[in-house]
């Protein structure tokens, strides 16, 4: 079943803010929260992430009906990519080297910002690229 595209974009907007605050403050706990949010989104789909839940319960009822839908697999893959970057960032900030934590967090922030501001999901595009390559290889 396809999903409302506004949900992942809201999640990307919240993620952008969270990761920006992490970069400014160096908060390991806040990055741990974002890593958990990515893990839940990767494991259960974007609707199972905390931001997906908030969209479904709080935001979507206040909006008009969706006009655009997308397959849930690319955003779920994007959550897994975000999880990898957030986990590397968490290790870097918590245990060192700090530059690794900042770089990985910054990369995740850039990807989240692109999705939130422009609707361009890097993780989704990576999913589609991998899928096209896999189909050609068969």
Q: pTM for this one? A: 0.92
Per-residue pLDDT of the chain (138 residues; tens, 9 = 90+): 899 999 999 999 999 999 999 999 999 999 999 999 999 999 999 989 999 999 999 999 999 999 999 999 999 999 999 999 999 999 999 999 999 999 999 999 999 999 999 999 999 999 999 999 999 988
The reported pLDDT for the residue numbered 40 is 97
The reported pLDDT for the residue numbered 1 is 85
The reported pLDDT for the residue numbered 5 is 92
Q: Which two tokens stand for residue 41?
A: 């989104």
Residues sharing a CB contact under 8 Å with residue 132, sequence separation 6 or more, in sequence order: none
- Quote the CA–CA distance of 75 and 44 in Å, as a whole number: 11
């Amino acid at each position: 079943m396809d999903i409302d595209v506004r949900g992942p974009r809201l999640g990307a907007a919240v993620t952008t803010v969270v990761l920006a605050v992490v970069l400014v403050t160096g908060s390991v706990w806040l990055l741990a929260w974002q890593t958990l949010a990515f893990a839940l989104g990767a494991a259960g789909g974007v609707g199972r992430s905390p931001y997906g839940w908030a969209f479904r319960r709080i935001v979507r009822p206040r909006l008009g009906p969706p006009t655009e839908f997308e397959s849930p697999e690319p955003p779920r893959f994007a959550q897994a990519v975000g999880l990898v970057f957030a986990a590397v960032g968490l290790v870097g900030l918590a245990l060192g080297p700090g530059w690794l934590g900042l770089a990985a967090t910054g990369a995740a922030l850039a990807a989240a910002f692109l999705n939130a501001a422009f609707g361009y999901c890097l993780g989704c595009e990576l999913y589609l690229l991998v899928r096209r390559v896999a189909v050609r290889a068969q």
